[in-house]
Chains A and B, each alone.
Chain A
């Protein structure tokens, strides 16, 4: 059965407009990253006057981009690994066992997800400053301190998504493993985790992306040496000049790995969202 003409035409118009809306900023990012500074400083032009890869060379020396890159990688990576590993144990407990306080736990996890980050930022800031004053341990401004603050959003999210995903793994599977002589941890790692790999990948990708893009905690909790990309990119605008071509080049360099990873793994993410969030 062929769709009616009205549907086909609405679809063509709608999808064309939407594609334009989505693509224009992407085009601006790519084309401006290949323009000389004089070109991006003057009136906007759709086509570069002169193609140059100079911005891609200069971005590394204008600001210590490589350092920021490594910082972001360490902070986002560590926050992801910590929250996913801890969430696997917690979600397994919630999904497979009945225990006192289970409801309180799940409701707490769910509700902390809806709280604004600013709510945790102020107290954590004061705690870090005070711990630093009292013991000399520099949590404030350190990567470790930042990783800990990232767990405020990545941990509840990971637990919540994985509970949903583990629930979709048939119980018979791990019960069979228990009968066959596995311990509960054996059942978790030999049966449940392998069966839930798509969900775990989805959660990890999501947690990493969120941490990679985080601005609020990064802007307060970092110093010159621990700055992440989210804050570091501000370094391309000085009082006198804004190096828009370098900002766009750096943005692309920073974005391409995440976007590529996301597009490669998006099938898992959709599967994970369906099982975890949209039940």
Chain B
């Protein structure tokens, strides 16, 4: 089979008119079928790990799926939109907690993305031209990104310990900034702790992408600007930052989605139940499902989260593509 295809393809390429009718047909079918054949394994797996679970997730969200029905979820009774109305009833405990968790997640995500972007962009611009130690510094800056999430976060857990952590030792014992050692992994400070870890782990990705983006800016732009008398700061503001715009649009969207959906960081930092101030939505749904064993409500929350992400991404794509169009004009 592998020998007939190339000859036919070759014959058709060299002398298209000579191939006879009956011989052309199987070749053409094979050509049309080929992309699907190549896609087949991917399609089957996508079906298995994405589409089927998503459909089941949707179905689950309309069922009263508690721990009694886990052995056979199909026998769980239908309860219509109950899971959804419980989730969005913001006056009742479940809905109020979900709304709170959603707002915490939005605030956390916006702050984390902004800081990651700022630090990453600044570092990439400062390291655009060569200086001594640049290669070493570049490798060093990628370490937080390369570390497995749990080892990085566990180290921060150690640093945030109340009695034997570095953070309290420095802030309280050495600098005397606080009256008494603070708690970082419970209470309101947990938001700061989460944000710190997230930025520490996340900014190198922005750094990597912006560095890649900087390589695509033509050198002539800078040369022309410096001939016109523009200083380095002006060049950064007028050339570098505007040229990074398409890169930033992708980068910000990716950072947003990753941070918003992040489960690993809060889970390793706080465990199965996060403190209220740092109750991110993915851990919240996990808790609703695997701690209180309410899979129906957990699924409804997942579907709502998915809808929100689809809307945000859609709006974002429309805004950025419109921006690009007006920028071209």
Q: Residues on A close to B: CB < 8 A?
A: 1, 3-4, 6-7, 10-11, 14-15, 18-19, 21-26, 28-29, 32, 40-44, 86-87, 89-90, 92-94, 97, 99, 102, 105, 108-109, 111-124, 126-127, 129-130, 133, 148-149, 151-152, 155-156, 159, 178-186, 209, 212-216, 219-220, 229-230, 233, 244, 247-248, 251-252, 254-255, 258-259, 262-263, 266, 269-270, 273-274, 277-278
Contacts and interface: CB of A to CB of B under 8 A. Distances in A.
A148 B306 CA distance: 22
A123 B6 contact: no
B308 to A, nearest CB: 10
Contact of A181 (B10, B38, B212): B10
A14 to B, nearest CB: 6
Contacts of A274: 212, 215-216
Interface string B147-182: 111111011101100011110110001000000000
A89 B286 CA distance: 35
B134 to A, nearest CB: 10
Given A44-B164, A123-B60, A152-B53, 5 more contacts: A14-B126, A89-B38, A122-B302, A148-B48, A263-B146
Interface string B105-137: 000000000000001001100110100000001
Contacts, number: 284
Contacts of B144: 22, 25
Contact of B158 (A14, A247, A277): A247
Contacts of A28: 155, 158-159, 166
A214 B38 CA distance: 29
A266 B143 CA distance: 11
Contact of B53 (A109, A127, A159): A127
Given A119-B302, A133-B72, A213 B155 contact: no
B264 A24 contact: no
B247 A29 contact: no
29 contacts: A3-B232, A7-B232, A15-B123, A25-B144, A25-B159, A29-B155, A44-B164, A93-B39, A116-B263, A133-B71, A148-B48, A155-B45, A155-B46, A178-B6, A183-B2, A184-B5, A184-B34, A213-B148, A213-B149, A216-B264, A216-B267, A233-B150, A247-B158, A262-B142, A262-B145, A263-B142, A263-B143, A277-B250, A278-B246
A278 B226 contact: no
Contacts of B90: none
A273 B251 CA distance: 11
Interface in B245-283: 246-247, 250-251, 254, 257, 260-261, 263-264, 267-268, 282
B70 to A, nearest CB: 6
B50 interface: yes
Nearest to B226: A1
Contacts of A114: 257, 261, 309, 313
Contacts of A18: 119, 123, 141
A279 to B, nearest CB: 8
A44 B165 contact: yes
Which secondary structure dominates chain B's binding surface? helix
B155 A105 contact: no
B190 interface: no
Nearest to B271: A234
B327 interface: no
B148 A254 contact: yes
Contact of B6 (A108, A111, A182, A212): A182
Which of B151, B246, B299 counts the most chain A CB atoms within 10 A?
B151
Contact of A270 (B46, B140, B155, B212): B212
Contacts of A90: 38-39, 41-42
B41 A86 contact: yes
Contacts of B251: 278
B264 A40 contact: no
Given A119-B306, A215-B263, A266-B142, A126 B60 contact: yes
A277 B313 CA distance: 16
A87 to B, nearest CB: 7
Contacts of A40: 158, 164
B32 interface: yes
A6 B28 CA distance: 66
A233 B232 contact: no
A99 B148 contact: no
A197 to B, nearest CB: 19
Contact of B166 (A44, A112, A152): A44
Which of A109, A122, A185 counts the most chain B CB atoms within 10 A?
A122
A277 B205 CA distance: 12
B219 to A, nearest CB: 13
The 6 closest A-B pairs by CB, nearest first: A90-B42, A251-B151, A262-B146, A123-B53, A93-B38, A116-B261
A209 to B, nearest CB: 7
Given A133-B72, A155-B49, A258 B146 contact: yes
Nearest to A231: B150
Nearest to B153: A215
Contacts of B286: 118, 121, 216
Contacts of B169: 43-44
Nearest to A132: B71
